[in-house]
Amino acid sequence: MEKELLDDARHRMDKAVEAVNTEFNTVRSGRASEGLLDRIHVDYYGTSTPLRQLANVAAPEARLLSVQPYDKSAMRSIEKAIMESDLGLNPSNDGTVIRLPVPALTEERRRDLVKLVHRLAEDGKVAVRNIRRDCMKDLKDLVHEGEVGEDAEKRAEEQLQKLTDDHTHRVDELVKKKEAEILEV
């Protein structure tokens, strides 16, 4: 029974770390990244649609993103959505492809982005700790109901703490990597 709880906790913690990594991909760094446009939604015929569903996004150069809409009539809507986003990118349109030059970041903007990354990472760590807390509560309930002995509970708690430490360490590694990417000039 406790093995099932630990497997579920591991799975949920993996998902939390994966969510942090996905959030990090939407944070702008000095170079062009296709994940940068993942948060952008376009008003397409009255419906808010993710940009990825309307266009092919590519990073042909280190400081350039290209957006090629599947439907040319959506070009204006896509440009408008990019300009209204908080990314600070200015699209240029040649009729078939929207090009987005990614300017170099200022030192102040880099510091702000690093703070954002740390905040996102802390949210991820809190999610991992909440999963640990929920699993501990379930273990206590099993012990209270007599389905699991106290020795098994202690072993499961130790394994759960090790799982939690491993996942928070993975989040820390992602933070270091993203911080280095942002601060790279």
What's the pLDDT tens digit per position in 6-36? 999 999 999 999 999 988 887 877 677 788 8
What's the pLDDT tens digit per position in 49-105? 999 899 999 988 888 899 999 999 889 999 999 888 877 788 898 888 999 888 877
What's the pLDDT tens digit per position in 29-49? 767 778 888 888 999 998 999
Separation of alpha carbons 163 and 37, rounded Å: 33
What's the pLDDT tens digit per position in 129-157? 999 999 999 989 888 888 888 888 899 99
Band of pLDDT at residue 123, cut at 50, 70 and 90: very high
Cβ burial of 54 (10 Å; 0-12, 13-18, 19+) is buried
Across-strand partners of 55?
Answer: 69
Q: Which residues contact 159 (CB under 8 A, 6 or more apart)?
A: 6
Separation of alpha carbons 85 and 69, rounded Å: 18
Half-sphere exposure of residue 84: CA atoms within 13 angstroms, side-chain side = 11
- pLDDT over threshold 90, residue 167: yes
Angle of CA points 153, 159, 165, to nearest 5°:
135
pTM here is 0.74
The phi and psi torsions of 159 (rounded to 5 degrees) equal -65, -40
